[in-house]
Amino acid sequence: MTASHKSVPNPRGPIARAALAFASILVLAACVPAGTQQTASLPAPEQPAPPPPSPFVQAMRDAGVNVAIPARGKFILVNIPSYELIAFQDGAPVIRSKVVVGAAGTSTPELLSNMYAIKYNPDWTPTPSIVRNEASVYIPSGPRSPLGRLKLELDNDQAIYLHDTPQKSYFGREKRALSHGCVRVQQVRELAAWADGVSVDEIDQRIRTGRMYTERLAEEIPVYIGYYTRFPDQFGQPVNVSGRLR
């Protein structure tokens, strides 16, 4: 080969083939729209289907009670017209208790809140409206406290909470709109034990100390106080409960 002839790469040689492959990659990349030049992801695994509602939750739906009961965790529902509280664990009722709600003029409001603490042997401080209308005064912790032995604290700006009561006879009445607005719970010891994840005996031991103190829950529990005039009875049958408030 003379100096006047330059070496030309073999178009079928390995260097030429590599260059052609690299050029092809650049051309393909240029054809991909901006913002989509990324590695294709594998399809996400299918999520398990949610469990079917419990028979009681289904009965609530049939009655037109449109509360979204979570399938996991704890939840409390208070229905004002039926004077009852239902505690749900993983979508199924575990406690169903009679309650006393607000009387005419001091009715219990509908609200969504969270239970965050339990107060043992609580004292009672009347609200300004109670002082104005009834001349009530502060009552210390003890057997005369209107809150009984347990107060279940709710996070809201209306001073509404769940509590015990020394007036147990009120739970025997058919119409139980008798309070200043807060909710008195018949099975309050069972509710406190369930909320705190301990036994009723443990709750009773804490009460017997006579000390007034507050203990925060490990996890807050959603509480919904609602107004549903059709609600399942003890057999799961929808009944009209609107007349009970009259």
Phi first, then psi, for residue 133 (nearest 5°) are: -90, -25
Please name every residue paired with 82 in a beta bridge, in sequence order, or none if there are none.
Answer: none
Catalytic (active site) residue 31: no
Please name which of 100, 102, 88, 125 lies closest in space to residue 184, comparing C-alpha atoms: 100
| CA distance readout (Å), 13 to 5, 7, 27, 226 | 19, 13, 21, 81
- Residue listed under structure tokens 């147990």: 168
The first and second tokens of residue 24, run together, are 């092809």
Residue 71, Cβ neighbours under 10 Å: how many? 16
Catalytic (active site) residue 182: yes
Catalytic site residue from 5, 31, 180, 182: 182
* E strands in the chain: 74-79, 84-89, 92-102, 111-120, 150-154, 162-163, 177-179, 183-185, 213-226, 230-232, 238-240
Q: Which residues form the catalytic set?
A: 163, 182
